[in-house]
Amino acid sequence: MVKFNEGASLNTGQISDQRGSSGGGGGGLGGGGLGGIPIGKAGGGIGLVVAIVLIAIQLFGGKFGGGSDTGSASGGSSLLQQAAATGDNVDASALASECRTGADANAKDDCRVVGFVNSIQDYWANQFKSTGKTYPEATTVFYSQAVSTGCGQGSSGMGPFYCPADNQVYIDLSFWQDLKTQFGTNGGVFAEGYVLAHEYGHHIQALLGTSDRVGSDSGPTSGSVRLELQADCYAGVWAKNATSTPGADGQILISDITDQDISDALDTASKIGDDYIQTHLGSGRSDPSQYTHGTSAQREKWFRQGFSTGDPAQCDTFGAKDLG
């Protein structure tokens, strides 16, 4: 299992802990817009989020009586009302005192997430530096159930996501459990690293202007699919480089990543492909015209591509004739 260097420092300044300040109550929608659909560029806002919530309801139609009938719609709106009650940051210092070192990341679930976020950003900071650029950090927001974002209201049912309008990653940490119970993954903590590195991949795409070239399309060779597969590839690149990347304190934060960790990342990728989700959690049929993230096989392939090369330049899903 992935190991953090016990003496290395964690930087909780990269996290905004908004758990406990949510509207609370009510069950989530279950997994849905997984893999961090960019929920709208600046100004995209609530309309897009509503659309994604409705898609989530359709995916998990059974729970709400199916389809986009009135029952589903009211399920969606009550969730959005909850989201409106979201407050602001409660107690950032609690996380800071709890998560100080790699030893804490080895011992505590939420500190481990801090460690992954730190390691991912250490990698990109070094990568940008090597090309003469400065990497602007992106905060990860921990929230419970519902959250206000620069892209509109977010909720747990959407899964983790990156908002390009405020350059933040949002995650309800209960998602790790959803991965096992709803998506049927084997679990394994490195799945968390993969998911977070995928979301930070979207941050990189926003910084490089890649996401600006892509609209909200769908289909097997759509810009959306290419963007998502590239984020998977970037996640693999980080995984390859994590154990050789020094942090701000000069120490390498992650000391060991095992074959089992990589298997866990690939297993997760294989359970969040469009075909898998549509077949197992949606209508029961795979409809390529609705693909936005790529198939399970493609997601595995591009994570592997990043992991085997360790080079973000080898993640050119836009130039690739064959996505796999």
- Identify which of residues 163 and 252 has a Cβ nearer to Zn ion in the complex: 163
Residues 6+ apart with CB under 8 A from 159: 31, 32, 33, 34, 35, 36, 175, 178
CA distances from 264 to 176, 185, 259, 268, 287 (A): 12, 8, 9, 6, 27
Q: Can residue 35 be called a binding residue for Zn ion (CB under 5 A)?
A: yes
Name the residue nearer to Zn ion (CB basis): 160 or 282: 160
Residue type, 79: L
CB of 294 to Zn ion, least distance (A): 10
Is residue 164 involved in binding Zn ion (CB under 5 A)? no
From 35-43, 170-178, 188-196, 257-265, span contacting Zn ion (CB under 5 A)? 35-43
Only one of the segments 30-38, 105-113, 279-287, 312-320 lies at the binding site for Zn ion (rule: CB under 5 A); that segment is 30-38
* Residue 188 near residue 261, CB atoms below 8 Å: yes
Smaller CB separation from Zn ion, 299 or 304: 299
Site stretch for Zn ion (CB under 5 A), options 180-188, 221-229, 250-258, 272-280: 221-229
Cα separation, 112 vs 189, whole angstroms: 9
Candidates 30, 31, 33, 36; binder of Zn ion (CB under 5 A) is 36
Q: Could you tell me which stretch among 10-18, 107-115, 224-232, 305-313 binds Zn ion (CB under 5 A)? A: 224-232
Q: Return the number of other C-beta atoms located less than 10 Å from residue 87's C-beta.
A: 11
Helices 223-241 and 109-130: crossing angle in degrees, nearest 10, is 100
- CA dihedral defined by 23, 27, 31, 37, rounded to 10 degrees? -20
* Smallest gap from residue 93 Cβ to Zn ion (A): 31
What are the tokens at 63?
A: 């729970």
Considering the complex, what minimum distance in angstroms separates the CB of residue 94 from Zn ion?
29
Q: By Cβ distance, which residue is nearest to Zn ion?
A: 36
Nearer to Zn ion, 160 or 247 (CB): 160
Q: How many residues bind Zn ion (CB under 5 A)?
A: 4
User: CA of 35: how far to CAs of 97, 170, 208, in Å?
Assistant: 30, 11, 20
Instruction: Tell me how far, at minimum, the Cβ of 194 lies from Zn ion, in Å.
Output: 11
Cα dist from 298 to 233, 241, 322, whole Å: 10, 22, 10
Tell me the closest approach of the beta carbon of residue 198 to Zn ion, in angstroms.
Answer: 6
Which is closer to Zn ion, CB of 178 or CB of 228?
A: 228
| Minimal distance, residue 44 CB to Zn ion, in Å | 15
Q: Cα–Cα distance between 83 and 98 in angstroms, integer? A: 28
122 vs 232, which CB is nearer to Zn ion?
232
According to the binding rule CB under 5 A, does residue 159 interact with Zn ion?
A: no
Residue with Cβ nearer Zn ion (35 or 247)? 35
The stretch near Zn ion (CB under 5 A) out of 151-159, 209-217, 230-238, 242-250 is 230-238
- Residues 6+ positions from 47 with CB-CB distance below 8 Å: 40, 152
Using CB under 5 A as the binding rule, whether residue 228 contacts Zn ion is answered as yes
- Residue 232 contacts Zn ion per CB under 5 A: no
| Contact residues for Zn ion, defined by CB under 5 A | 35-36, 228, 231
